[in-house]
């Protein structure tokens, strides 16, 4: 009995921490997004953890859109959202044929490739920004929707497209908030069909909803407080950490210990 109670308390503490991290990521700190599923995966399977958190993402998305309603790039959103929809449709049709690990590997290589290119340009003194052009936006937007649907890792393709534009930090955070809000809403119906979002998970979400909203508010306040240079340094560090985490998951799946 005691062990069961301890496990229940531990689960809810972990769920609260994961939900708060999700909320903070929606408030403008994408470096927090990678914490949600790993925290919950200690207690439940990763797919179930992703399904539990998706409605939390959506709830926090609604609040984030309100927070950033005056601080996002309309042009980027108008390019990325339709492209992401195409990527989600492709992922839905191909999900049974595309190994999750292969997708994670591609995402990790995209992120590390961007970081390598950015470092090379910095060392060469190239500080020019790239505009939000349609051809690149359609490609990276489709990759964002595809990888977000299959492996919940749409951040690296999104950042590979938006970071070179050198937007102000609040515009960057707002563009991410609005874009991924649309992506998550589009992912919800197939997740329900796949059984990853259930009535039980929705009941749990009702309890955790205030934590997600508080996290989003806290993330927004921290984003506004962080100096511009430090904010983007943390974004790049988080991108690198996520890519290394994905590579570790691929290695563990393809070359298990023993």
Q: What is the torsion angle, in degrees rounded to the nearest 10, for the CA atoms of residue 73, residue 76, residue 79 and residue 85?
A: -90
Model pLDDT, residue 1: 43
Q: Would you say the C-alpha torsion 53, 58, 63, 69 has a positive or negative sign?
A: positive
User: Residue 59: exposed, middle, or buried by beta-carbon count in 10 A (0-12, 13-18, 19+)?
Assistant: buried
**Paired tokens of 186:** 């589009």
- Quote the CA–CA distance of 46 and 171 in Å, as a whole number: 32
Task: List, in order, residues 6 or more apart from 4 with CB less than 8 Å away.
Answer: none
- Read off the pLDDT of residues 34-74 as tens digits, 9 standing for 90 and up: 666 666 666 666 666 666 677 777 788 888 899 899 999 99
- Read off the pLDDT of residues 163-185 as tens digits, 9 standing for 90 and up: 999 999 999 999 999 999 999 88
Residue 60 · residue 180 · CB < 8 Å: no
- Quote the CA–CA distance of 136 and 22 in Å, as a whole number: 28
- Quote the CA–CA distance of 53 and 152 in Å, as a whole number: 11
- Read off the pLDDT of residues 70-91 as tens digits, 9 standing for 90 and up: 999 999 999 999 999 999 999 8
Range picked from 116-130, 133-147, 212-226 for highest mean pLDDT: 133-147
Residue 216 · residue 27 · CB < 8 Å: yes
Mean pLDDT throughout 202-223? 82
């Amino acid at each position: 009995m005691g062990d069961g109670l301890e496990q229940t308390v531990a689960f809810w503490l972990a769920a609260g921490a994961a939900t708060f991290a999700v909320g903070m990521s929606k408030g403008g700190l994408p470096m927090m997004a990678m914490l949600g599923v790993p925290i919950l995966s200690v207690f439940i399977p990763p797919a179930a953890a992703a399904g539990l958190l998706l409605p939390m993402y959506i709830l926090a998305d609604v609040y984030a859109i309100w927070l950033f309603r005056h601080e996002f790039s309309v042009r980027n959103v108008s390019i990325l959202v339709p492209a992401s929809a195409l990527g989600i449709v492709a992922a839905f049709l191909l999900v049974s044929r595309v190994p999750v690990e292969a997708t994670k590997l591609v995402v990790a290589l995209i992120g590390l490739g961007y970081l390598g290119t950015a470092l090379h340009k910095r060392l060469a003194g190239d500080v020019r920004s790239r505009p939000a052009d349609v051809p690149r936006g359609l490609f990276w937007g489709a990759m964002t929707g595809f990888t977000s649907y299959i492996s919940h890792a749409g951040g690296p393709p999104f950042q590979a497209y938006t970071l070179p534009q050198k937007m102000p930090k609040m515009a960057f955070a707002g563009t991410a908030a609005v874009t991924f809000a649309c992506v998550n809403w589009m992912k919800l119906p197939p997740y329900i069909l796949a059984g990853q979002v259930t009535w039980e998970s929705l009941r749990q979400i009702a309890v955790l909803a205030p934590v997600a909203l508080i996290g989003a508010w806290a993330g927004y306040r921290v984003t506004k407080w962080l100096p511009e240079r430090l904010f983007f340094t943390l974004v790049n560090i988080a991108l690198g950490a996520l890519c290394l985490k994905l590579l570790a998951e691929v290695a563990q799946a393809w070359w298990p210990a023993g």
